[in-house]
């Protein structure tokens, strides 16, 4: 039951992204859709992934809203505008991708379930991602973080009010 409510919510707000005529509403319709997907993960007891999806999507959408409004040159903002561009191309691409995915669902030879869910899915997830390569993963993680921070530092030009 909860699954169907979330599924309808996810699809409906996904459609709303293309129906509404405001950038802010489109962004938050997309956020609603993605949160519904995150909540579906909570339903199947993947609490870590579910909470993480919700966390990441809220931050992502807010950053996206800032950039989108910045680049659309509509800073004061509530002017209605169409959210649709390149309608024919978009329709063709999305229909093709949809057909491909549906075909995939029916043509795949789904394996039978083996074993039971692990007692702690979070730990199992960590082990399957990192497992014996923990050291490598940690080093890569720190390297990525250092790259991010130094990119930001290099890209920042001091504003007029900074010393």
Report d(CA 114, CA 150) in Å as an integer. Answer: 46
Report d(CA 26, CA 34) in Å as an integer. Answer: 12
Report d(CA 99, CA 95) in Å as an integer. Answer: 6
135 binds other proteins (CB under 8 A): no
155 binds other proteins (CB under 8 A): no
160 binds other proteins (CB under 8 A): no
Q: How far is the CB of 51 from other proteins (least distance, A)?
A: 4
How far CA 133 is from CA of 21, 104, 130, in Å, comes to 48, 32, 5
Report d(CA 106, CA 111) in Å as an integer. Answer: 13
Q: How far is the CB of 119 from other proteins (least distance, A)?
A: 10
Q: How far is the CB of 113 from other proteins (least distance, A)?
A: 23
Q: How far is the CB of 10 from other proteins (least distance, A)?
A: 17
Q: Is 79 left (phi over 0), alpha (psi -120 to 50) or beta?
A: beta
According to CB under 8 A, which one of 9, 17, 37, 48 is a site residue for other proteins? 48
Contact window for other proteins (CB under 8 A) among 8-16, 56-64, 89-97, 108-116: 56-64
According to CB under 8 A, which one of 6, 26, 30, 31 is a site residue for other proteins? 31
């Amino acid at each position: 039951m909860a699954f169907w409510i979330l599924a309808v919510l996810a699809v409906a707000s996904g459609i709303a992204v293309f129906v509404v005529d405001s950038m802010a509403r489109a962004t938050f319709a997309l956020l609603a859709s993605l949160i519904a997907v995150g909540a579906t993960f909570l339903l199947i007891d993947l609490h870590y992934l579910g909470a993480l999806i919700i966390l990441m999507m809220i931050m992502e959408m807010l950053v996206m809203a800032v950039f989108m409004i910045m680049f659309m040159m509509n800073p004061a903002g509530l002017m209605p505008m169409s959210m649709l561009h390149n309608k024919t191309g978009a329709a063709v691409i999305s229909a093709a991708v949809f057909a491909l995915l549906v075909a995939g669902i029916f043509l795949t030879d789904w394996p039978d379930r083996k074993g039971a869910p692990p007692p702690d899915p979070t730990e199992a997830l960590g082990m399957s991602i990192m497992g014996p390569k923990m050291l490598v993963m940690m080093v890569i993680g720190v390297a990525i973080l250092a790259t991010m921070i130094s990119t930001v530092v290099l890209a920042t030009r001091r504003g007029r009010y900074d010393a």
